[in-house]
Chain A
Amino acid sequence: MDSATKSPPRRQKTPRDARSAGRAVARPRASLRIRMVFFGPLLVLMVGLLAFPILFALYASFADVNNLFSLKFAGLTNYESLLARPETLSGPLINTLRFTLGSVVLALALGFGAALLLNGRLAGRRVMRSAFMFPWVIPTVVTALLWRWIMDSNAGAFNGLLLQLRIIDQPVSWLGEPQLAPWIIILAQVWRGFPFIMVMLLAAMQTIPAELHETAAVDGAGPLRRLVSITWPGVRPIFILVGTLEGLYAFREFAMIDVVTGGGPAGATEVLATQVYRLFFQYHRFGDAMALAALMFVLALIATLFLMRMAARGEED
């Protein structure tokens, strides 16, 4: 095969080849030209559309961006300006953490519960799995508007239902109360997020051999015991991964918050992403926006590294 592909002769086996030998036959090293054909477009786009903008944004957070053109290095000026008004940062930071943690924990719990229910014999499981995925398919802005309408204080379905069930006797302004509105956007985010988690966990559960459960049951392990000792270890890596992804998506979520509440009432749902947008495009506080965006990046980076280490530690066990 080697001669037919006109590839250079097989190189000496390196330790790396030996490691991957179990997965695949040792492969010929392709020429640089061939490599460029396959990886070139991706690399160009990654450098141009991902790496360059990130470096640009990080640099700009240390530059004088007041007129958006000169970009002269200015040290920590932007950060000092941002921290001079700590309320610009503290409120959105707390709201972001609440939104992220709240929606991830609830979406993981619901997703795991739903996956457990659908795992095993159940009439119409395929159809149900499709139906569960619908919230994931519809655009975020549509989801956001739908929940804004459900939670409408005058004619929304939620108040209508609670009034008819006599759980409340006055309409509640769900999105008008600073104590309630953050939980409503979390609810909307969970509604959109849990189906994806469910599908991933369900797929992981179905790779666990049924014999494991049967043998354990014969040995007298109850459902709870099997859940802890068989199901959980089987889904743990995917659980951590989908939790991480869901968390990162929630952390950077913009559309849901912007459309449901616009950051209100009184800033109660303003998150970092919407705050950066507002600082830049509405208040034209360009330097503050760059500094806050860079801080967001650092926070996401720390969280990712932490979670990756956690996932890696889990695999060593």
Chain B
Amino acid sequence: MMATRSTRLYHLSRLTGTAIRYTLVACFLLFALLPFFWMLSTALKPATQIYTSPVTWWPSSPTLENFVAVITRADFTVIMGNTLLVAGVSATVSTTVALLAAYGLSRLASRWGELLVLLLLFAQMIPTILFVIPYFLVFRTLGLLDTLLVLIVTHVSLTMPIATWLLRRFIAKVPRELDEAALIDGCGQVGALFRVVAPSARAGIGAVFFYAFLGSWHEYLFALSLTSSPENRVVTLGITSLVGQYQVSWGELMALGILTTLPLIALFLLVERNLVEGLAGGVKG
């Protein structure tokens, strides 16, 4: 008798535990995702349904007019093109430099290696605004202000340290026998890296590239202070430039926000597993 009752109690408490757990997970998910719902709902509303009381949670007749308006505006292609170029080039440079250094850190004995790793971590500590003023003065002297080149260079400085730090782990995981075999086959060290080690670590390299790409795509402060003309705008500036004007069109803003985020979400889903693994592994040391 006792046994059945306690078993039943046990099952009951297990059941309540599970119910509580799922309820809490649902709360977290609501917190994380409700803002996205509001973003999408606003983007799909005709202008007349944006300012209503009470609030319209879902438009009665969803429309793509905000998306069409944003895409047909001339500077959409400009800001997307600029951003793709800046993020693509700066992430490529960052990842390449990081790959070379990560291989060096992992394969060449060096008494400076640990110091270098520490300095890379340290670079994360420095407030970005501290860089803005020297960059501004130097690039002004060089006549390079308000160019995409400035953004590429500064974004490399932003993403390179963490890229090196992360790649180190992915390279260290490639078995040493692989590059040793390549060396015996007559590849130089550089050949061994690019022909053997890099292909074996390509999933990790992809994740690190995404991380650098994301950092550049997100960047706002350098773009704001080092570029000014509309033809050199990147998406972060393109979005905020819509705000300063006399009236904010929230429908168009949210549509633009969605459009400029979709490429990132798509890339993220591609590399997610390796990214999480790499970030977590990188932290462990």
- List A residues at the B interface (Cβ < 8 Å): 1, 4-5, 16-17, 20, 24-30, 34-35, 37-39, 41-42, 45-46, 49-50, 52-54, 56-57, 60, 68, 110, 113-114, 117-118, 122, 128-135, 137-142, 145-147, 149-150, 152, 154-157, 159-161, 163-164, 191, 195, 199-200, 203-204, 207, 237-238, 241-242, 245, 248, 251-252, 254-255, 258-259, 272-273, 276-277, 280-281, 289-290, 293-294, 296-297, 300-301, 304
- List B residues at the A interface (Cβ < 8 Å): 21-22, 24-25, 28-29, 31-33, 35-36, 38-39, 42, 50-55, 57, 96-98, 100-101, 103-104, 107-111, 116, 119, 122-135, 137-138, 153-154, 156-157, 160-161, 164, 176, 180, 183-184, 189-190, 214, 217-218, 220-221, 224-225, 235-236, 239-240, 243, 250, 253-254, 257, 260-261, 264-265, 268-269, 272, 276-277, 279-280, 283-284
A164 closest partner in B (C-beta): B54
Pick the residue among A53, A137, A237 that contacts B265 (CB under 8 A).
A137
Pick the residue among B39, B164, B217 that contacts A139 (CB under 8 A).
B217
Smallest CB separation, A109 vs chain B (Å):
12
B41 closest partner in A (C-beta): A157
The majority secondary structure among interface residues of chain A is helix
Smallest CB separation, A123 vs chain B (Å):
8
Instruction: Tell me whether B25 and A301 are in contact (CB under 8 A).
Output: no
The winner among B42, B123, B125, B257 for most chain A CB atoms within 10 A is B125
Pick the residue among B25, B97, B279 that contacts A45 (CB under 8 A).
B97
Instruction: Tell me whether A28 and B109 are in contact (CB under 8 A).
Output: yes
Instruction: Tell me whether A38 and B133 are in contact (CB under 8 A).
Output: no
Report chain A residues within 8 Å CB of B183: 1, 4-5
Pick the residue among A35, A38, A42, A252 that contacts B127 (CB under 8 A).
A252
Instruction: Tell me whether B236 and A139 are in contact (CB under 8 A).
Output: yes
Instruction: Tell me whether A117 and B28 are in contact (CB under 8 A).
Output: yes
Report chain B residues within 8 Å CB of A26: 109
Pick the residue among A117, A128, A155 that contacts B21 (CB under 8 A).
A117
**Can you report 22 A-B residue pairs in the complex whose CB atoms are below 8 A from each other?**
A27-B107, A35-B104, A38-B108, A39-B100, A39-B116, A49-B154, A50-B161, A56-B138, A110-B31, A122-B25, A134-B33, A139-B239, A150-B35, A161-B55, A207-B284, A238-B283, A238-B284, A245-B124, A259-B240, A259-B243, A273-B128, A273-B129
Given contacts A53-B131, A140-B220, contact A154 B51 (CB under 8 A): yes
The majority secondary structure among interface residues of chain B is helix
Report chain B residues within 8 Å CB of A159: 55
B273 closest partner in A (C-beta): A126
Instruction: Tell me whether B126 and A297 are in contact (CB under 8 A).
Output: yes
Instruction: Tell me whether A155 and B236 are in contact (CB under 8 A).
Output: no
Given contacts A142-B239, A145-B257, contact A16 B122 (CB under 8 A): no
Instruction: Tell me whether B137 and A41 are in contact (CB under 8 A).
Output: no
Report chain B residues within 8 Å CB of A37: 100, 189-190
A27 to B220, CA, bound (A): 43
Report chain A residues within 8 Å CB of B269: 130
Instruction: Tell me whether A200 and B283 are in contact (CB under 8 A).
Output: yes
The winner among B109, B180, B272 for most chain A CB atoms within 10 A is B109
A42 closest partner in B (C-beta): B101
Given contacts A1-B183, A199-B279, contact A42 B54 (CB under 8 A): no
Report chain A residues within 8 Å CB of B31: 110, 191
Report chain B residues within 8 Å CB of A38: 100-101, 103-104, 108, 189
Extra pairs beyond A41-B97, A117-B21 (17, CB < 8 Å): A41-B96, A41-B100, A42-B100, A42-B164, A54-B126, A122-B21, A122-B25, A145-B257, A147-B35, A160-B53, A191-B31, A204-B280, A238-B284, A252-B128, A280-B132, A293-B127, A304-B125
